[in-house]
Amino acid sequence: MPERLMMEDAALAEDARNGSAAAFVKLAKRWWTPLYRVSWNISGSASCAAQITERTLLAAIHSAEPPPFTRVPFKVFLYRVAVRLTLTREPPGSTVRQPQDALGTIREALQRLDPLDSAALVLREIEQLPMEEVAAILSASSEEARTRTHRAMLSLTRFVGEIAGSDAVPATG
């Protein structure tokens, strides 16, 4: 994201913190889709993703701390909050759905990953964030973020194979 937009985001967040509804709406319009997408890809739940996205945006302006974006880039702060809220959410009910298609298979496999590995994979491979930003969002070293992403990709490949294999109909003789 260009430096100009990062500074604009910080200014908008400060204006929203001071009561500007217009500034909050502008931030929400800019960040809703990427935050929702990250939460949805990690949680696998549209309703959870919507709640997390809303809570993330509200945290950006109602944080009890001094403005967090003064210490880290605003983008990193938002993704960090979204990932943490998603990983610490109450787990959904124990309903297990059978995947109907390739996307369902991948979603089910993502749910089997270690939560932090899943977050690293989503941020790096789906959101295409630089590894340094993934590390900052996860509060990890670049090496740990790289390891988590790699491990997640290997596990995801294995899980997709297991799920796809379990859906196969045995041949009748």
Q: Whole-angstrom Cα distance, residue 55 to residue 95? A: 25
User: Whole-prediction pTM value?
Assistant: 0.74
Cα torsion at 40, 41, 44, 48 (round to 10°)?
Answer: -20
Residue 168 burial (CB count, 10 A): 7
Q: Whole-angstrom Cα distance, residue 131 to residue 69? A: 19
pLDDT tens digits, 81-123? 999 999 988 655 434 444 456 677 777 888 889 999 999 999 9
Whether 9 and 73 have beta carbons less than 8 Å apart is answered as: no
Closest CA to 106 of 94, 95, 118: 118
What does the domain layout of the chain look like in residue ranges? 1-75, 98-167
Cα torsion at 128, 129, 131, 136 (round to 10°)?
Answer: -150
Q: Name the CATH topology of 1-75.
A: Rna Polymerase Sigma Factor; Chain: A (1.10.1740)
Inform me whether the pLDDT recorded for 156 exceeds 70.
yes
pLDDT tens digits, 116-142? 999 999 999 989 999 999 999 999 999
Q: Report residue 49 as tokens.
A: 């993703």
- Domain at 98-167: CATH code: 1.10.10.10
Give the Å distances, CA to CA, from 137 to 19, 49, 50, 66, 102: 27, 17, 20, 18, 29
Closest CA to 38 of 5, 108, 91, 87: 87
